[in-house]
Amino acid sequence: MISFTVRLKFRPEDRARIAEILTDLASASRQEPGCVNYVPHLVEGEPDTVVIYEQYRDQTAVEAHRASAHFKKHAVGGLYQLMLDRQVENLTALV
């Protein structure tokens, strides 16, 4: 299992657009056969920060996600164009 978080920061004026993009991206990503979890979160106290928790069956599933048309459209063509900052944290499960 591969798990990670992606922390993204945006301008206040982009909040509504970011919510639309994340709704579409999450819905499509959850339909991928190798996707276990894909959950975008707003960070309390930081209304312009989003954290996405992602889990995939294996590296092949991660690569399929990143190669998908919906990732290219919504993440690369949408979120990445509007973000001010992006940080990825790779996670290792304890149990």
pLDDT one-digit tens code per residue, 2-44: 999 999 999 999 999 999 999 999 999 999 999 999 999 999 9
Q: How many residues are there in the chain? A: 95
Q: Find out if CATH 3.20.20.70 is the number for domain 2-90.
A: no
Report domain extents, the chain.
2-90
The 10 Å Cβ neighbour count of residue 35 is: 20
pLDDT one-digit tens code per residue, 29-87: 999 999 999 999 999 999 999 999 999 999 999 999 999 999 999 999 999 999 999 99
Which strands make up the sheet holding 2-9, listed edge to edge? 35-43, 46-56, 2-9, 85-91
Q: How far apart are CA 53 and CA 50, in angstroms?
A: 10
Q: How far is CA 65 from the centre of its chain?
A: 10
Cβ proximity of 6 and 86 under 8 Å? yes
